[in-house]
């Protein structure tokens, strides 16, 4: 049975408290997830763990619920999204659902430390509140920028236009670049106005939406000339001393 057949509910933005009691405690969330075990197993989910603020006992009624899922052999992204859809419908709140294979190295230790199997919920949550760190996100920005430069390095303007794989790789990392800026605290963005944070997000939107098409000549110019000028600024921010307001938003 396909994910679409198993999870026919139309996708829509969940409303906080749209279903259930709105109790954001770990025992309550885990109990509700256990109550539909047969449904999520049909979607290829074999294990559900809760991490983040719910697992630490720090969640409010407005908090997202973070779920770490184990998937059976042969499951794909459609299965993952169908499971996310199922859980959002049950809990009536936004869900971030991922598998261990998706976790970025900088986040891995914290997520796995928090994670609680819904079948083995402790009497009291492990309160491991940690200050969120944002600086590794700048290294993520640098990585995306460097990939863009590397993918275009073997080309001139004309050969780049003809290489669909290189163009797709560059566009993907332009989207990643803009998306990652959202994790840099606003206080840090305000301290570093020489980095065009908002424009990078606008480029991300242009690439992601692609309503009318994207001019690869402009992409080339950005990859070879505009972004390399930003690299020293991002490197300086990445290596700078920790400043106040340095938590992720």
Q: What pLDDT, in 10s, does the model give residues 214-233?
A: 999 999 999 999 999 999 99
Enclosing H/E stretch for 236? helix 227-239
> Is 54 among the domain residues?
yes
pLDDT score, position 129: 55
Same domain, 216 and 141: yes
Q: What is the pTM of this model?
A: 0.77
Same domain, 141 and 233: yes
* 124 vs 153, higher pLDDT: 153
> Is 60 among the domain residues?
yes
* 79 vs 7, higher pLDDT: 79
pLDDT score, position 15: 44
pLDDT score, position 249: 38
List the CATH number of the domain containing 56. 3.30.460.10
- Per-residue DSSP letter, 10: P
Same domain, 223 and 170: yes
> Is 99 among the domain residues?
yes
> Is 122 among the domain residues?
no
Same domain, 148 and 111: no
Residue 176: Cβ within 10 Å count:
18
User: Three-state DSSP class for 30?
Assistant: helix
Please count the structural domains in the chain: 2
Same domain, 94 and 143: no
C-alpha 63/C-alpha 103 separation (Å) is 20
User: Final residue of a domain: which of 117, 145, 176?
Assistant: 117
User: Final residue of a domain: which of 65, 82, 117?
Assistant: 117
Q: Which domain holds residue 99?
A: 26-117
pLDDT score, position 16: 42
Same domain, 178 and 225: yes
Average pLDDT, rounded, for the chain: 89
Same domain, 73 and 160: no
User: Final residue of a domain: which of 88, 117, 146?
Assistant: 117
Least confident of 41-45, 148-152, 229-233, 238-242: 238-242
Same domain, 177 and 99: no
- When pLDDT is averaged across residues 152-157 and rounded to a whole number, the result is 98
Q: How confident is the model at residue 124 (pLDDT cuts 50, 70, 90)?
A: confident
Is residue 70's pLDDT more than 60? yes
pLDDT score, position 176: 98
Same domain, 113 and 137: no
- When pLDDT is averaged across residues 78-99 and rounded to a whole number, the result is 97
Is residue 76's pLDDT more than 60? yes
- Whole-number percent of the chain with pLDDT over 70: 84
Q: What pLDDT, in 10s, does the model give residues 2-44?
A: 665 555 454 444 444 444 456 889 999 999 999 999 999 999 9
Alpha helices, DSSP H, located in 93-215: 105-114, 135-152, 157-162, 164-180, 186-191, 197-209
């Amino acid at each position: 049975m396909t994910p679409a057949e198993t999870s026919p509910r139309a996708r829509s933005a969940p409303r906080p408290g749209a279903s259930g009691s709105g109790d954001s405690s770990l025992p309550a969330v885990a109990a509700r997830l256990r109550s539909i075990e047969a449904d999520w197993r049909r979607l290829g989910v074999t294990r559900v763990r809760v991490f983040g603020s719910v697992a630490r006992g720090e969640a409010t009624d407005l908090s997202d619920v973070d779920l770490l899922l184990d998937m059976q052999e042969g499951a794909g992204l459609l299965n993952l999204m169908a499971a996310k859809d199922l859980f959002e419908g049950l809990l009536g709140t936004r869900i971030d659902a991922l598998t261990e294979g998706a976790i970025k190295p900088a986040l891995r230790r914290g997520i796995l430390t928090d994670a609680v199997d819904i079948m083995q919920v402790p009497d009291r949550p492990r309160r491991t509140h940690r200050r969120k760190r944002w600086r590794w996100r700048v290294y993520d920005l640098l990585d995306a920028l460097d990939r863009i430069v590397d993918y275009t390095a073997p080309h001139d303007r004309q050969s780049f236009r003809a290489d669909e794989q290189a163009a797709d790789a560059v566009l993907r990392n332009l989207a990643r670049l803009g998306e990652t800026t959202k994790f840099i605290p606003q206080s840090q963005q305000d301290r570093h106005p020489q980095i065009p944070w908002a424009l990078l997000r606008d480029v991300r939107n242009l690439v992601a939406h692609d309503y009318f098409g994207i001019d690869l000549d402009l992409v080339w110019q950005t990859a070879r000339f505009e972004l390399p000028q930003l690299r020293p600024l991002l490197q300086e921010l990445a290596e700078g001393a920790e400043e106040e307001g340095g938590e992720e938003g």
